[in-house]
Amino acid sequence: MSEGVSTAEALRKTLDAKATEHSTLQAIVTSVYDALEVGDSRSGSSLRGRIEALYTRVGERLKNALHIGMKRALAMVSLKAQVWFW
């Protein structure tokens, strides 16, 4: 009987640890979600769905940042070329 009790106790501790991990991850995702202004972080979407939305949003922001950086770099090259050749 004590073996069954110790197994049940171990399972309860594991479940509690997993629930704590999930709550912590959910709080982190909610914070990032709000910071990136992805949408309503409390919309009822699953944690996985919100993480996927974050992944998409971060990808969009990186793409936009790269695009802006390239435009600025090309503008600088263009200005330098005008100075050199005029």
pLDDT in tens, 5-30: 788 888 999 999 999 998 898 888 88
Contact 26, 43 (CB under 8 A): no
Give SS3 for 74. Answer: helix
- Whole-prediction pTM value? 0.52
DSSP assignment, residue 44?
S
On average, the pLDDT of the chain sits at 82
The span from the CA of 81 to the CA of 3, in Å, is: 80
Domain limits at 16?
A: 2-85
Q: Indicate the number of domains in the chain.
A: 1
Would you say residue 40 has pLDDT above 90? no
